[in-house]
Amino acid sequence: MLYIKCPHCGMRSQNEFSYGGDATIKRPELGKEISDQDWDNFVYNRKSLRGKHWELWQHISGCRQWIKVERDTATHEIFKTLKANEEISL
Amino acid sequence: MTQSFRLKSGGLINRDKKISFRFNGKKYFGYEGDTLASALIANGVHLIGRSFKYHRPRGFFGAGVDEPYAIVQLYRNGETEPNIKATEQELFEGLEAKSVNCWPSVNFDVGAINNFLKIFLPAGFYYKTFMWPKSFWYKIYEPFIRKAAGLGTVSIKHDKERYEHKYEYCDVLITGSGPSGLASAYSAAKNGAKVVLAEDKSRFGGTLLTSDVNIGNQSGKEWADSIVSELKEMSNVTIKNRSQVFGYYDHNMLVMSERISDHLPKTKKYHPKQRLWYIRAKEVLISSGSIERPIVFGNNDTPGVMLSSAAKEYMKVYGVLVGKKPIVFTNNDSGYETAIEFKKNGVDPIILDTRKEPQSEIIDEAKNMNINIKNSYVVVAAQGYKKVKSADIAKISDDKEKLGSVENIKCDCICVSGFWTPTIHLASQSGNKTKFNEKIDAFVPGTSKQNEKTLGAANGIYTLEETLKDSFEKGNQLSKEITNNDNKVSFPNVVEKKSTVHDKFWCVPLPKGKNYKRFLDFQNDVAVSDIEIALKEGYRSIEHVKRYTTLGMATDQGKTSNLNGLQLVSKIENKVVPAVGHTTFRPPYSPVSIGAIVGREVGKHSKPTRKSPMHSWHEKNNAVFVDAGVWLRPRYYKRGEENLFEASKREAKNVRTNVGVCDVTTLGKIDIKGPDAAELLNRVYTNAWLKLPVGKARYGVMLREDGIVMDDGTTTRISENHYHMTTTTAQAANVLSHLEYYLQLVWPELNVNVVSTTEQWAGAAIAGPKSRDVLQKLFPNSDVSNEGFPFMGYMEGDLFGVKARIFRISFSGELAYEVNVQSDNGKFMWEKIMEVGKEFKIQPYGTEALSTLRIEMGHVAGSELDGRTTPYDNSLEGLLSKKKDFIGKRSLSREAFMANDRQKIVGVVPLDKKTSIPEGSHLVKDSNAPLPNPKLGYISASCWSVEHNNPFSLAILKDGKNMIGKKLFVMSPLKNKVIPVEIVSSHYVDPKGERVRS
Ligand SMILES: [Zn+2]
């Protein structure tokens, strides 16, 4: 079970969180024209990275904030966590 | 029967307390502090089971967790449990155990025929035999294997015992209470660190209980006792016996199973049987010691052949002799300690040492005691079937290849010591890169990945002095970094006998003309010849060899067999052991009961049960409840002898003709506030929300980004910047997360707050042509006329002194209202509704009637919004705004979603107007078409239409738009039904929607 540092609450066990997928995906702006391919990329196509990966988690059984977590998908090491409004520097 | 193998004195057992127990139906006596194994051995019982594959007789091999043989079926307090190691099971009054793997009895076992057929059961026999003809598999092979396989029988009864889970956070977790565990725990505790010390056995002290050493001016055991009692007094220390740390997981979380009641005849009231601890430790010190490994020789599985350290433990801890004419077969000094112990207890052992001229303090002591020592000698084979009767022994050449002439000597046990294997399971599970230590012929922990360090014998350190020194220091160092205290513990003077190097000898060659089975894995019956076959057949990777031969795959996970298996593979392959590598260590270290893993989350306790504030009223009024997610909802209110069908029909009909009231508290409710609230709604719902006036409600549909309907519900504008959203019961949590996702991550610029208020409001839906009359009585001062309070209106009212929110919304298709009050007033509201509604023949209705009402009016719900359907499929396309963008809109223009013959919701009526249609049935054109019969759609929901008095169903049907009026067939292969049906509109009642507006 992972031990995740919620930027709002501190170190908490994984079972307080729910996983939210790739944190680097940006939702296309509402009302903008977008090609089928770009839309598919946004909705469906994800890389299944081995190694460092920025992902979203929501602290559902805590502060209910969505947070960004940089985790190694192979070793489960967590390098950094950010608040929702903090930008990821890749 | 007398305890003829019990020593007159000695051991740590309580001889004042005699305990009776039964094994295979026969009554025996032991003492408090015995294990089942020690008590059986004391009684001269050496045959305990049969082996897995060949059904060869099995006795005892070890004295603890490493035991591969002595696995029994245990009976305790009316329950039964398989896979119990007799060496771990503590004796209690009335204990009953039976042998496994034998039929009809342990002494006469039919399966032992396999032993004589063993030539046909070589490595990989699972894969080679029982292959064909195919029909034989189900009828003959599989039943045969099922009967022969497995160790014991699982009870199919509900387990009445209680199992608990506990979460613990500590600075230092120490796994094992031998010398390294105690020393490190002590120095860490002295620095004020929060320490958890776990001991697998019932007694603390590990090898200090059996070794002849002095620490300070105390014996090893006395020192251990004093440290333990001091640790027990310290508030920062949790010290647990009967507790095994069996798994090391990510981020320094370890799991420990504590056996609280297994050693008692019965679990005490309010106590659990076992407790599973999830321990998050800042630092972990692994002090799990080492396990003696066997030397491989012919018939080395015969009962009476056992580990030399186990023989010593039976004497020193339990006061029990494993034999009266022992041979100690060793390649190192440990065997001498066992021999000396035998001698001290008046038994004359013979030592066969594979070494030529070893010299050390211990050996000198043995010599001084006149123990018969034969150097460069080996046991070639054990003789005897159900118990060792003699041993074939021989001199071995210096290169260990050639045997001298074989002689036979009488003996009743052979105690084997092939040196020590560090228990590195936890370190390896944590991700530690283990390395091979040539000096001890075994793997030891290498580079740590997590915060873990390994101490003492588990780290390949076999002298007490070095172990204690290192452990005191590590305990101090690690805790110092956490607590900033530095209370050094003075190092005690250690007295131990010096030993010399071991002989890297592990397998006795076969004498000419003999074909003895030489076993590596004692539980799975894997012999040297099996590994040889596997390698001959081309298996190379140790992981493949393991799976092909089942080496190390039994319940003991190869604790005594893995290393010898590696030695053999490396010898045949002409590689060094580290090049072969070891197989992966996986948790659990030792079997854990399923009950402990599940804990309290059993049946109804697996999730919380949520009840509405009106629950007690429902109970009093004969409600029959149904699970709706975690909620309990009235399904119907039983009157007299009514069944579900009759009651729900009555309730639904009463709504259509008079008025009914339904508890809708479970609906998800989200409070939305902020200047941008309307904008948020406009983005997440498919329809327009910017112009909804204050005091009005609107129905809305939410999509996921992939265009699939996520949820529906009504949202009401309470005031300028304040909205009240409702969701379905099932999707309440998901919708809240969905809104939070967009607000926090995608549109942080929107100034809106959302919060769940599901539990804050109690809700009652009042539905039916007379609902307005009831409402007027509830709120005599409010204008509830159709003009004053039109459809989709909202107002606040005074319900006999209680503030209420009133919504004119309908789920039933009738004129209807929903009244919400604060939860505390829910029951008051409900009783008032029943009271004032009496004159209008109000009846409560449950979820079954609720479903009937919504199905016959074609209102979609969870069974249609099942995560696979689009707005069009549910005939909700009228709610899709063309003017604005919203979540998921772009997906709706994907090709498949625009197909002309796209599926759509329809109504289905059986042609005979009588036969009920099972939900989940398929719709087909031709009921006699060859399989696979093309499926046109499926029945999503079924009811008995109270309006038309015949069955009616909703279905999602391909090209549903053009199918109205067509005749199809409903097929339910599950219920073996074929029903001719007609496709009709999904709006079976009031298709123009006049009633809700009346
Ligand atoms: Zn948090």
pLDDT in tens, B165-222: 999 999 999 999 999 999 999 999 999 999 999 999 999 999 999 999 999 999 999 9
pLDDT score, position B523: 84
Residue B446's φ and ψ, nearest 5 degrees, are -115, -115
What class does CATH assign to B294-418? Answer: alpha beta
Q: What is the rounded distance in angstroms from the CA atom of residue B946 to the CA atom of residue B957?
A: 24
| Cα-based torsion angle of the residue sequence B443, B446, B451, B453 in order, rounded to the nearest 10 degrees | 60
pTM of the model: 0.90
With DSSP H G I counted as helix, E B as strand and the rest as coil, what are the percentages for chain A, rounded to 5? 10, 35, 50
Residue located via tokens 């919203």: B886
Interface-testing mutation among A43, A73, A75, A79, with chain B (most B C-beta atoms within 10 A): A43
Task: Give the Cα separation of B450 and B445 in Å (integer).
Answer: 12
- CB spacing of B740 vs A34 below 8 angstroms: no
Average pLDDT over every residue of B619-623: 98
Do B267 and B259 meet the contact criterion of CB atoms below 8 Å apart?
no
Q: Quote ipTM for the complex.
A: 0.98
∠ Cα B300 B304 B308 (to 5°): 80
Q: Are B343 and B363 contacting, i.e. CB atoms less than 8 angstroms apart?
A: no
Q: Is the pLDDT of residue B145 over 90?
A: no
Is the pLDDT at B121 greater than 90? The verdict is no
Q: Determine phi and psi for B380, rounding to 5 degrees.
A: -80, -45
Half-sphere exposure in the Cβ direction for A79 (13 Å, CA): 14
Residue B117 has pLDDT above 60, yes or no: no
pLDDT tier at B261, thresholds 50, 70, 90: very high
Q: Following DSSP, what letter does each residue of B241-305 receive, concatenated?
A: SSEEEEEEEGGGEEEEEEESSTTSSSPPTT--SEEEEEEEEEEEEE---EEE-PPB-BTTTSTTE
pLDDT band at B102 (very low <50, low <70, confident <90, very high): low
Ranges of each domain in chain B? 1-160, 163-290+422-495, 294-418, 512-593
Looking at beta carbons, which residues of chain B come within 8 Å of A79? Answer: none
Contact indicator for B482, B527 with CB cutoff of 8 Å: no
CB of B530 within 8 A of CB of B571?
no
**Binary contact (A84, B431; C-beta < 8 A):** no
B706 Cα–ligand 1 center, Å = 29
Confidence of residue B607 (pLDDT cuts 50, 70, 90): confident
Set of chain A residues whose Cβ sits within 8 Å of the Cβ of B253:
1, 3, 13
**Range scoring the smallest mean pLDDT among B74-83, B394-403, B446-455, B468-477:** B74-83
CATH number for the region A1-26+49-90 comes to 3.30.2270.10
The whole-number average pLDDT for the span B293-304 is 96
CATH number, domain B163-290+422-495: 3.50.50.60
Measured CA to CA, the distance from residue B647 to residue B391 in angstroms comes to 81
- Token duo for residue B537: 């057949």
pLDDT attached to residue A90 = 67
**B189 vs B137, residue with greater confidence:** B189
Which pLDDT band, with edges at 50, 70 and 90, does B106 fall under?
Answer: low
How open is the CA angle B804-B808-B814, to the nearest 5 degrees?
Answer: 130
B642-661 burial, b at 16+ Cβ within 10 Å, e below that, comes to beeeebbbbbbbbbbebbbb
User: Which of A:1-30 have CB within 8 Å of B?
Assistant: 1-3, 13, 18, 20, 27-28, 30
Residues in chain B with CB shorter than 8 Å from the CB of A75 are 431, 449
According to the model, what pLDDT value does residue B50 have?
A: 81
Who's near B153: CB < 8 A, 6+ residues apart? B73, B80, B82
pLDDT band at B558 (very low <50, low <70, confident <90, very high): confident
Triad B177, B181, B182: Cα angle to 5°: 80
B737·A60 Cβ contact <8 A: yes
Alpha carbon of residue B157 to chain centroid: 18
Closest residue by Cα to residue B208 from B187, B183, B233, B229: B183
Per-residue confidence band for B639, with pLDDT thresholds at 50, 70 and 90? very high
Contact B834, B661 (CB under 8 A): yes
Å from CA of B702 to ligand 1 middle: 27
Task: Verify whether the Cβ–Cβ distance B251 to A27 is below 8 Å.
Answer: no
* pLDDT at residue B626, as a whole number: 97
Here the tokens at position B800 are 């006999």
| Residue-wise pLDDT tens digits, B902-951 | 999 999 999 999 999 999 999 999 999 998 999 999 999 999 999 999 99
Q: Touching check for A31 and chain B: CB below 8 Å?
A: yes
Who has greater pLDDT, B304 or B122? Answer: B304
Q: Tell which residue, B299, B293, B301, has the closest CA to residue B66.
A: B293
Distance between CA B538 and CA B119 in Å, rounded? Answer: 20
What's B512-593's CATH class? Answer: mainly alpha
Instruction: State the DSSP code for B753.
Output: E
> Which residue among A20, A30, A76 sits closest to B683, beta carbon to beta carbon?
A30
B101: enclosing H helix or E strand: none
Q: What is the Cα Rg of chain A in Å?
A: 14
Q: Are strands B433-437 and B442-447 parallel, antiparallel or unpaired?
A: antiparallel
Q: Which of B627, B507, B610 is nearest to B561 (CA)?
A: B507
| Chain A residues near residue B746 by CB distance under 8 angstroms | 27
E-state strands within B681-793: 697-703, 709-719, 722-727, 753-756, 761-767
Query: How many angstroms does the Cα of residue B158 sit away from the middle of ligand 1?
Result: 39
3-state SS class at B308: helix
Tell me the pLDDT tens digit for each residue of B802-811.
Answer: 999 999 999 9
- Residue B194 token pair: 């929060």
Give pLDDT, residue B583.
82
Averaged pLDDT, B879-885: 97
B473 or B580: which leads in pLDDT: B473
Look at the domain B1-160 and name its fold: Ubiquitin-like (UB roll) (3.10.20)
pLDDT at B851: 97
- Sign (positive/negative) of CA torsion B916, B921, B925, B929? negative
Using CA atoms, how far apart are residues B456 and B470, in angstroms rounded to an integer? 8
- What is the H or E stretch that residue B530 is in? helix B528-536
In whole numbers, what is the pLDDT of chain B averaged over residues? 94
Taking the C-alpha atoms of residue B186 and residue B478, their distance in angstroms, rounded to an integer, is 12
Q: Which among B10, B1, B426, B509 is positioned nearest to B244, based on CA atoms?
A: B426
pLDDT of residue B524: 83
Instruction: Locate all alpha helices (DSSP H) within chain A, ordered by sequence.
Output: 36-43
- Stretch B830-846: mean pLDDT, rounded? 98
The answer to whether residue B821 scores a pLDDT higher than 70 is: yes
List % helix, strand, coil for chain B (3-state, nearest 5). Answer: 25, 30, 45
pLDDT digits (tens, 9 = 90+) for B952-995: 999 999 999 999 999 999 999 889 999 999 999 999 999 999 99
Burial track B53-87 (b if 16+ CB lie within 10 A, e otherwise): bbbbbbbbbbbbbbbbbbbbbbbbeeebbbbbbbb
- Residue B547 pLDDT: 87
Distances (CA, A) of B997 to B689, B701, B992: 21, 21, 10
User: For B484-526, how does the pLDDT look when each residue is reduced to its tens digit (9 = 90+)?
Assistant: 999 989 999 999 999 999 999 999 999 999 999 999 998 888 9
What does the alpha-carbon distance between residue B634 and residue B776 come to, in Å, rounded to a whole number?
Answer: 26
Burial class (CB in 10 A: 0-12, 13-18, 19+), B827: middle
Three-state secondary-structure class, residue B807: strand
Separation of first and last alpha carbons in chain B: 91
Give pLDDT tens digits for B374-387: 999 999 999 999 99
End-to-end CA distance of chain A: 26
- Tens of pLDDT, residues A27-54: 999 999 999 999 999 999 999 999 999 9
Cβ distance of A34 and B890 shorter than 8 Å: yes
Q: Please give, rounded to a whole number of angstroms, the shortest distance from the CA of B255 to a CA of chain A.
A: 10
d(CA B163, CA B257) in angstroms, rounded, equals 10
Cis ω on the peptide bond leading into residue B133 (within 30° of 0)? Answer: yes
Which chain B residues have a beta carbon less than 8 Å from that of A36? 894
Amino acid sitting at position B593 = S
C-beta separation of B686 from B871 below 8 A: yes
Q: Cα–chain-centroid distance for residue B501?
A: 44
Question: What's the CA gap between B993 and B816, in Å, rounded?
Answer: 12
Q: Which residues are within 8 A (CB) of B684 and not within 5 positions of it... i.e. 6 or more apart?
A: B702, B738, B739, B742, B886, B887
Taking residues B633-659, what's their average pLDDT?
97
Whether residue B135 contacts residue B243, with contact meaning beta carbons closer than 8 Å, is answered with no
Tokens found for residue B383: 């003789």
The torsion angles phi and psi of B353, rounded to 5 degrees, stand at: -110, 130
Nearest partner of B759 among B671, B629, B666, B847, judged by Cα:
B666
Tell me the C-alpha distance between B987 and B993, whole Å. 9
B640-644: average pLDDT: 96
Q: What is the pLDDT of residue B848?
A: 97
Give the helix/strand (H/E) hosting B460: none
- pLDDT band (50, 70, 90) for residue B549: confident
